[in-house]
């Protein structure tokens, strides 16, 4: 074989190897992506998620109830955003040299009040919605109130009380 033939054969070999590496990489990445999608589809939904509740509603009422719940959540959103913003401000201020106990207390109080306003709005809207729903759909939808109450009770009981200085 001449040197020109060897150069052509070497060039074809390099091109073929690059193609094979690219195909292998593509195959590996697509298999990983497919595995993630399958895992996401087989993962059970959160216990008590609104989607599970909506799936149990009658087909006639489902769109109306979903729209009403979404509207309620969107209306309460500014309160929840304000609560998160005040909490972030409090955390940031507590970690600086400009620490002011009164300001920190006020920010945390604002955060709690905004959160409570948002929760109260959603609860009022849910109660109003429950008044418009009949039969089994009302039983299913009532679980929204039950789940929230159980979740709050279990989270507050699961916390340990802060230790007092000098009692360790």
pLDDT at 162: 44
Predicted confidence band of residue 98 (pLDDT cuts 50, 70, 90): confident
Number of domains in the chain: 2
pLDDT at 19: 93
| Domain hosting residue 137, numbered range | 50-148
Examine the domain organization and report whether 55 and 122 are in the same domain. yes
pLDDT at 124: 93
Cα 107 to Cα 113: distance, rounded to the nearest angstrom = 10
155 occurs within a structural domain: no
pLDDT at 160: 43
Cα 96 to Cα 18: distance, rounded to the nearest angstrom = 55
* pTM tops 0.95, yes or no: no
**pLDDT tens per residue, range 23-40:** 999 999 999 888 888 887
Examine the domain organization and report whether 27 and 71 are in the same domain. no
Report whether pLDDT(143) > 70. Answer: yes
pLDDT at 163: 43
165 occurs within a structural domain: no
pLDDT at 52: 75
64 occurs within a structural domain: yes
Predicted confidence band of residue 158 (pLDDT cuts 50, 70, 90): very low
Examine the domain organization and report whether 63 and 29 are in the same domain. no
Cα 78 to Cα 115: distance, rounded to the nearest angstrom = 10
Report whether pLDDT(159) > 80. Answer: no
pLDDT at 105: 93
162 occurs within a structural domain: no
Distance of CA 1 to the CA centre of its chain: 66
Examine the domain organization and report whether 26 and 62 are in the same domain. no
Report whether pLDDT(79) > 90. Answer: yes
Examine the domain organization and report whether 19 and 83 are in the same domain. no
134 occurs within a structural domain: yes
Q: What are phi and psi of 99, to 5 degrees?
A: -60, 130
Report whether pLDDT(92) > 50. Answer: yes
Report whether pLDDT(20) > 90. Answer: yes
65 occurs within a structural domain: yes
| Short-list 67, 72, 111, CA closest to 89 | 111
Averaged pLDDT, 124-145: 87
Examine the domain organization and report whether 76 and 28 are in the same domain. no
Other beta carbons within 10 angstroms of residue 13's beta carbon come to 10
Quote the DSSP letter at residue 96. S
Cα 101 to Cα 106: distance, rounded to the nearest angstrom = 9
144 occurs within a structural domain: yes
């Amino acid at each position: 074989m001449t040197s020109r033939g060897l150069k052509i054969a070497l060039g074809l070999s390099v091109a073929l190897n690059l193609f094979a590496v690219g195909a292998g990489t593509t195959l590996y990445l697509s298999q990983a992506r497919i595995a993630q999608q399958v895992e996401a589809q087989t993962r059970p939904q959160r216990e008590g998620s609104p989607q599970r509740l909506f799936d149990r509603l009658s087909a006639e009422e489902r769109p109306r109830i979903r729209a009403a719940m979404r509207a309620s959540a969107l209306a309460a959103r500014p309160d929840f955003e304000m609560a998160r913003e005040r909490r972030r401000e409090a955390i940031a201020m507590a970690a600086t040299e400009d620490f002011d106990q009164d300001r920190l207390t006020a920010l945390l109080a604002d955060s709690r009040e905004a959160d409570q306003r948002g929760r109260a709005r959603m609860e009022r809207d849910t109660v109003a919605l429950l008044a418009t729903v009949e039969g089994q759909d009302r039983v299913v939808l009532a679980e929204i109130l039950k789940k929230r109450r159980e979740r709050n009770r279990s989270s507050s009981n699961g916390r340990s009380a802060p230790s007092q200085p000098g009692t360790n």
